[in-house]
Amino acid sequence: MSENFIVTLPADGLSSVQVKTVLLTRNAVRHISAAAFRGLVAVTQLDLSHNQIAHLPARVFSPLTHLRTLKLRYNRLADIGPQVFHSLHHLYDLDLQVSSSEEKPFYFPTHVCKQLAVTIGKRIG
């Protein structure tokens, strides 16, 4: 579903999809419903890179109980609240690379910090 000019991910918009990998890269996603990923329990990899996401609803990823890799690089995330990653007990790889020079406040629950390999870099130039 990459490079399809998708702008929003509505509630239950992907609920009938039974896959392990969801690639939504290089779209124009600005809005993600809090229930956008409901029903996607088998997903282990989610890539939302290169979109225009500025906000993530609390617990938006909670239906993704088997998620191991989450890529959010090159979005417009201003901050990430403490509840966003709350139930991602299997998350191992989180990519939050940003293109701006601003510092961003990101909060991670303790259980996430212990198991996580996080990429939070800034592109230079």
Single-letter code of the amino acid located at 86: H
The stretch 59-70 carries a mean pLDDT of: 94
Per the structure, the complete domain to which residue 75 belongs is given by 1-125
Sign of the CA dihedral 12, 15, 17, 20? positive
CATH code assigned at 77: 3.80.10.10
Say whether pLDDT at 51 is over 90.
yes
Say whether pLDDT at 123 is over 50.
no
Q: What is the CA radius of gyration of the chain?
A: 13
Single-letter code of the amino acid located at 36: A
pTM here is: 0.77
pLDDT in tens, 77-111: 877 887 888 888 888 888 888 755 555 556 555 55
Q: Residue 98 forms beta bridges with which residues?
A: 122
Q: 31, 7 in Cβ contact below 8 A?
A: yes
pLDDT in tens, 9-27: 656 656 666 789 999 999 9
Number of domains in the chain: 1
